[in-house]
Structure 1
């Protein structure tokens, strides 16, 4: 699989995750991104034995875009700490069904994951094991009862963007799990990890990377906007 490298040095690897590939091995048994990248590093650098590559964050299987990995244990520890402190900036592009009322807003919910069904629900803050989820979004343009949003995550909960937007009547295009009433089977989920920014775990520099969504529907409705945000 041809995976685009957005940034790489001795400590950090940032790639463009393809859609419909798991980040790490799961029950599907399908080849995962982490394994593919380890194989690539082993081959490119002729490394003997096992290759270290640390997983810093995750993207849902149907989501593509910018994703950072750690190539050393020191980088893994420091990047994970940045993630815990919410000091890794993550911006997404999302195409939603419906018409947002507000041009820009922040959403706060409490989410609970059903691990057996692999589905997340919005629940009361008093619910046992519920976790607070916060994001903000900005509307760029509306077309054909859909809208292009820029989304910034403040927390990193499973399925967070998909669940929170669906809960306010804005299910993502192509999301059968949280928008089955308005989406059809076979449609590709329109959520893309557009931008990553973080302090380098070793050097005194800041890493900034962009990843453009694919040139296919519904992204092509906003080709120019989606590649300049």
Structure 2
């Protein structure tokens, strides 16, 4: 079963686990479980995806119950009228909040995008970031005798492919567990030392005006237990309310 975070006559939001695909893909033909089908089975009707989450990213995933509502929500998404908030664990200490305006070239898949324009100009990409906590571990992962990490609140103001992962890597603070843009030494350390293999990125909350009523709506996912177990090791709070984007 998939956890339903919110549901009404028009929308359903679920908590997608890390590692679960949003929908069927010919690139992953061996997979048998998908968030879209699991949500459909849970609510008893067809659902339409509003946005995507990368397979390794967990958190709030929004669907609609009609094609017309999906169109409205897609327009909101394209107009940046949906607030998206994430939490991420990154390598190193980030001491100050900031906003990164760094254009990104489209990431193309060798097979699925083989006909796409490989010379397309970089697209505008803007991310706000804010450090929430830091920890220093007594383990030499790289060239230093200890290893430092920061918990970050991230807000993408645009929606480019792998934007948060690429932007944090550009800042030299890659997200732990990112096998494409991250640091393999730290990824391996987390796998071996903490026994968890995942991308430490969660879509924590979505905020937008309801497509039918117009009322403001906020949907937030709790941190999974693997986050809380890690935080306990770090000496950080394990209370869910301490990590709410909006109380």
> Under TM normalisation by the shorter chain, which class is it?
0.7 to 0.9
Q: 1:108 aligns with which of 101, 117, 141?
A: 101
Equivalent in 124, 130, 136 of residue 138 of structure 1:
130
Partner of 1:191: 201
Which structure features the higher share of strand residues?
1
In structure 2, do the counterparts of structure 1 residues 3 and 219 end up closer, same or farther at CA, with 3 Å as the change threshold?
farther
**Per-residue CA shift, 1:10-45, capped at 9, x if unaligned?**
100111111101111112121211122223333xxx
Q: Higher mean Cα deviation, 178-187 or 80-89? A: 178-187
Number of aligned residue pairs: give it. 211
- Determine helix, strand or coil for the equivalent of 2:206: strand
Label 1:35 to 1:219 Cα distance change in 2 as closer, same or farther (>3 A): farther
Question: What is the DSSP-based 3-state SS (H/G/I as helix, E as strand, rest coil) of the residue aligned with 2:41?
Answer: helix
Partner of 1:218: 230
2:212 to 202, 208, 212: 202
Q: Indicate which of 136, 147, 151 corresponds to 2:150.
A: 147
Q: Give yes or no for contact 1:190–1:219 (8 Å, CA) kept in 2.
A: no
SS, match of residue 98 in structure 2: strand
Q: In 1, Cα distance between the equivalents of 2:71 and 2:120?
A: 29
CA–CA distance in structure 1, aligned partners of residues 125 and 231 of structure 2: 26
Give the structure with the larger helix fraction. 2
Gaps of 5+ in 1: 43-50, 119-126
Match of 1:78 among 66, 72, 80: 72
Quote the offset at 1:128 in angstroms.
2.6
In the alignment, structure 2 segments of 5+ residues that lack a partner are 113-118, 137-147
2:35 maps to: 33
The equivalent residue for 2:58 is: 64
TM-score, normalised to structure 2, is 0.79
Paired with 2:92 and 2:244, the residues of 1 have a C-alpha distance of 23
Q: Distance in 2 between matches of 1:129 and 1:194?
A: 31
Counterparts in 2 of 1:226 and 1:22: CA distance versus 1, 3 Å: farther
Distance 1:142 1:6 in 2: 29
Seen in structure 2, the aligned counterparts of structure 1 residues 219 and 16 have a Cα distance that, compared at 3 Å, is: farther
Which ranges of 4 or more aligned residues in structure 1 deviate by more than 4 Å?
none
Listed as ranges, the matches of 1:153-164 within 5 Å are 153-164=156-167
RMSD (Å), alpha carbons: 2.0
SS in 2 for 1:5: strand
